[in-house]
Amino acid sequence: MAYPSAHEPSFEALSAAGHKPHLIAKPEALDEVWLRTHADFKGIVDGRRSLMVFRGDGPTLVPLDDLTPAEIARLYPRNER
């Protein structure tokens, strides 16, 4: 699955910050992000799973399916050592 090139700068910013973005199947990633997100930062809004993420000037509530690829890469659990 190819994502729009508008997200490429986000991946570059993550790489510059020392994160190694990775792409996996989106449904699998969204389920893992949902499971690993603390209850204080997630909820059901209008029947859709939603998370609190930082966009623009501050935090905003975003439906899980509307997360950008860069947000998924940042929130997806990495191998814990």
Residue 37, classed as helix, strand or coil, is: coil
As a whole number of angstroms, the distance between CA 35 and CA 77 comes to 10
**What is the model's pLDDT at position 57?**
86
**Residue predicted with more confidence, 80 or 26:** 26
Q: How far is CA 66 from the centre of its chain?
A: 9
Q: Long-range contact list for 45-53, CB < 8 A, 24+ apart?
A: 51/75
Q: Are 50 and 44 in contact (CB under 8 A)?
A: yes
pLDDT at 44 over 90: yes
Whether the full predicted model's pTM is greater than 0.95, yes or no, is: no
Q: Are 22 and 73 in contact (CB under 8 A)?
A: yes
